[in-house]
Structure 1
Amino acid sequence: MGRDGRTRRRLLRLLGRTLNPWTLRAARAGRAFALVRHVGRRSGRTYETPLVLAPVAGGFVAELTYGPRVDWYRNVVAAGRCVVVVRGVEHAVVGVEPLAADVGRAAFGPAARLVLRLLRRREFRLLRVAA
């Protein structure tokens, strides 16, 4: 792995140790973040990851801030399912589908949409929930 890969890994580890505990508490309290419960593809352990999701018909839109190689996303794809907790309500996710950037951005409110556009975010996924 090249220098960029090591730098990215270090950044993700730093964020995981500093920012994630705070966002995880906020997600568990039902404030500002959703919680994604997923099973590790190698460990079999259950993990909880805080995310900002936008509700849409049929599920929730997730913006992959750190790309599709993050563990939570890879675990969900490998399992084909997870549970999303939004404001204390659990939703069973039964599939993940890629979304075009404009469709993904459109799911978010005006302020978030502007920020996503300015940051040139292009990786969006639909977390499809069970009917």
Structure 2
Amino acid sequence: MREAWLGLLKHSLNRVTVPLARAGRGPFALVRHVGRRSGRPYETPLLLARRGDDFVAELTYGPNVDWYRNVVAAGHCQVVTAGVVHEIDRIEVLPPDDGLRAFGNPAAAVLRLLRRRDFRLLHVAAFDSRT
């Protein structure tokens, strides 16, 4: 059932949100990553929060989603937000309280109600001069 739901999102919602995120419109950012088995490039739309120069992702569907597994396998990716490309050089587990704080209210309140506790810090590379 879960795989069917993720497939539906991938082939419906992503077709709308990817172009919006690529154009820097709306609340979505893009995570650009490479398939760990296929080697193909992918763009995944996500809602990310800023934490200083870095980004915070809430793993709504858990750590077994492809974008996350691809980034962990590669050790890096790119985040595109507001039309700006940021190089990400590592991804770390973030304590729930820190993740919720990054999203701020009212988003943090909604995440608490939904019992979301799985956050990751996407660290912007030091050589990334766009931050």
Task: Tell me the distance in 1 between the aligned counterparts of 2:53 and 2:76.
Answer: 14
Show the counterpart of 2:71.
76
Could you list the per-position Cα deviations for residues 89-127 of structure 1 after superposition, in whole angstroms to 9, with x for gaps in the alignment? Answer: 111000000011111010013111111011110110000
Q: What is the TM-score with the length of structure 2 in the denominator?
A: 0.92
Task: Tell me the distance in 2 between the aligned counterparts of 1:96 and 1:38.
Answer: 13
5+ residue gaps in structure 1? 1-6
Could you list the per-position Cα deviations for residues 45-68 of structure 1 after superposition, in whole angstroms to 9, with x for gaps in the alignment? Answer: 110000011111241000001100
- Equivalent position to 1:104, from 96, 99, 104: 99
Show the counterpart of 1:3.
none
- Equivalent position to 1:121, from 116, 119, 122: 116
1:17 aligns with 2:4: no
Q: What is the TM-score with the length of structure 1 in the denominator?
A: 0.92
Tell me which stretches of 4 or more aligned residues in structure 1 moved more than 2 Å: none
Spell out the pairing of 1:17-36 with structure 2 (5 A cutoff): 17-31=11-25, 32-36=27-31
| Aligned-pair Cα RMSD in Å | 0.8
1:75 shift after superposition? 0.2
Show the counterpart of 1:40.
35
* Number of equivalences: 125
